Structure 1
Amino acid sequence: MLGYLTIASEAEAEIEVSRSRFRCLIVRVEDEMSARGVVEAARREHWNARHHCSAFVLGPTGAVERSSDDGEPPGTGGAPMLEVLRGRELFDVVAVVTRWFGGTLLGTGGLSRAYADAVRAALEGAELIERVEQELVDVTVDLAAAGRLEHELRSRGTNVLRIDYTDVATLQLAVPMVAVPIAEEIVAELTEGAAELVHRGRRWVDAPVTP
């Protein structure tokens, strides 16, 4: 797993279907507790609405998925909302659609379309970002090699977090997972095999979406 899509910040939109109002709020979250907190906050804010259907997908691979129809006929609220999130391949997001009943019954098909369309409308105004996994590594080299090594690594997309100088130079790096073999080759070439990457862990960071 090298990366996944999520939203940069919350987005909101409202549509009207046969005088029923459907307001969708989509928020980026990190865990299930936070996702449920967003749903409850919407319920408190819009206390006069009849339904607050929700869906969320969590984790880099979407390992956690939940949906709720909140009193609507089974499968007409949360399920179609979840399908939209899946279709857009978005993760670490929760969508809440609050409905104010307009007096006209929409039927199961109409409800499903309305809830899905509300999520689509909110996503139209959402900025997407990519979450990229990086390998955190250290490499220690002679002082004379540090400058050239830093330049070569940066030019290949490696983030040089810090350089500590003593009688040697230790570079702390964050390397995109796909670029780890390249970084290893650069270090081996510039130090004639005298230095190698020391792996310290991994992290996820935000990056612009590649067109």
Structure 2
Amino acid sequence: MKTYITIKENYQHELIIKKSRFITNLARVQTPEAAQDFITRIKKQEYKANHNCSAFIVGDHNQFQHANDNGEPAGTAGIPMLETLQQMQVQNVVAVVTRYFGGIKLGSGGLIRAYRQSVSQAINAVGRVQGIQQQELLVTIAYNKLDSLMYWLQQQHLVIANTSYTDQVILTILVNKNQIEQTKKDLNNLLNAQIQMELGNTTFNEIPLV
């Protein structure tokens, strides 16, 4: 599996623009069928709304893409939403923006900005994660080396998956697979080679993007 960027979790976000309510629902999906099911569910849930516009990007190579204006002027909703998903580099995500008209017309330019803003604000609010292939590195050290190691791990933003305390300390650290050799060298230098290291399982983990 290659690396990917997606949203942290399913999310709902609301925006008021010139008295119109724009409610964005985001969901993580793995297939176009799941994306369409989500769109259908939101449409049923928000059946009183003026519009339920949608867009999604699905597939390991972004091969399934969709945009629908749902009654808004052509090109003012679905495409701006899809372009926002593309610009924010998320995949396997579906977005539905529900609009309740507030009595003030926004015009084509205003609608495009509103739908883009609705999706981008929702994604920024929920946060994005990057799926990265990582390797477990099992590190065994003496107790008097623990503080130095913990400080270094914090500086490097490395995640500790597990810690065991026996006559020594054994930490399971998650390291990006392409950084394993450099990390081992750095740890040897940091602890003057007073360390034992062993490779564990390979996993796929999601890291928050800041």
The TM-score with structure 1 as length reference comes to 0.66
Report the Cα offset of residue 54 of structure 1. Answer: 0.5
2:26 aligns with 27
Report the Cα offset of residue 165 of structure 1. Answer: 4.0
Report the Cα offset of residue 28 of structure 1. Answer: 4.0
Residue 135 of structure 2 contacts residue 174 of structure 2 at CA under 8 Å; is this kept in 1? yes
Q: How does 1:126-205 map to 2 (within 5 A)?
A: 126-127=124-125, 129-132=127-130, 133=132, 135-141=134-140, 143=142, 147=146, 148-166=148-166, 169-176=169-176, 180-189=180-189, 190=191, 192=193, 195-205=196-206
1:11 aligns with 13
1:83 aligns with 83
Which whole-Å CA distance do the structure 2 matches of 1:161 and 1:184 have between them? 17
Q: How does 1:41-80 map to 2 (within 5 A)?
A: 41-49=41-49, 51-58=51-58, 62=62, 64-70=64-70, 75=75, 77-80=77-80
Report the Cα offset of residue 27 of structure 1. Answer: 1.5
The letter of the residue matching 1:203 is F
1:117 aligns with 114
The one-character-per-residue Cα deviations of 1:97-116 (angstroms, maximum 9, x if unpaired) are 3356799x99xx93x86255
The one-character-per-residue Cα deviations of 1:164-190 (angstroms, maximum 9, x if unpaired) are 245664321123567545422133333
The letter of the residue matching 1:25 is T
Report the Cα offset of residue 203 of structure 1. Answer: 2.9
Which whole-Å CA distance do the structure 2 matches of 1:200 and 1:144 have between them? 25
Report the Cα offset of residue 137 of structure 1. Answer: 0.9
Residue 14 of structure 1 contacts residue 118 of structure 1 at CA under 8 Å; is this kept in 2? no
Which whole-Å CA distance do the structure 1 matches of 2:64 and 2:144 have between them? 46
Which whole-Å CA distance do the structure 2 matches of 1:14 and 1:37 have between them? 27
The one-character-per-residue Cα deviations of 1:4-56 (angstroms, maximum 9, x if unpaired) are 46467431224469xxx573414242434554343223211221345422002
The letter of the residue matching 1:47 is Y
Residue 69 of structure 2 contacts residue 78 of structure 2 at CA under 8 Å; is this kept in 1? yes
Aligned pair count reads 203
Q: Could you say what the CA RMSD is over the residues aligned between the two structures, in angstroms?
A: 4.3
